[in-house]
Amino acid sequence: SMGSLLLTAGEKGLRFGLPNARIMVHQPSGGFQGQVTDIMLHAQEILSLKKRLNEIYVKHTGQSFEAIENALERDNFMTASAAKDFGLIDSVLEQRPADEPAKV
């Protein structure tokens, strides 16, 4: 989802997931109608967008272009741990940080 792209393109070291989160990635999709020429124009645009999005995932995850293409071929739901292993996030937040005592 576009949310996963925004998440992975975030500041390194600050890309978190929660233990019960699912992060879904997939290729662009769309529906078009009209004359064949118009449909072909839309298809070319979506193919161009797919390539650009894959390049962004490659840059931020460290995965190969082929690995990204394979991962995004269909809806791909990852646990937070799997997303961390894949490079989408940096860490899984297992517990809240301890509260600082009130300053008096």
Q: Give the per-residue pLDDT at 102.
A: 67
pTM here is: 0.85
The angle subtended at Cα 9 by Cα 88 and Cα 59, nearest 5°, is 80
Residue 34: how many other CB atoms lie within 10 Å: 9
Three-state secondary-structure class, residue 23: strand
Point out the residues that are catalytic: 1, 26
Residue listed under structure tokens 């989802």: 1
Among residues 100, 98, 75, 72, the alpha carbon closest in space to that of 22 is found at 75
- Render pLDDT for 14-55 as a digit per residue (tens, 0 to 9): 999 999 999 999 999 888 899 999 999 999 999 999 999 999
- Render pLDDT for 78-99 as a digit per residue (tens, 0 to 9): 999 999 999 999 999 988 767 7
Residue 3 reports pLDDT greater than 70: yes
Domains in the chain: ranges and CATH: 2-90 (3.90.226.10)
Residue 21 region, left (φ>0) first, then alpha (ψ -120 to 50), else beta? beta
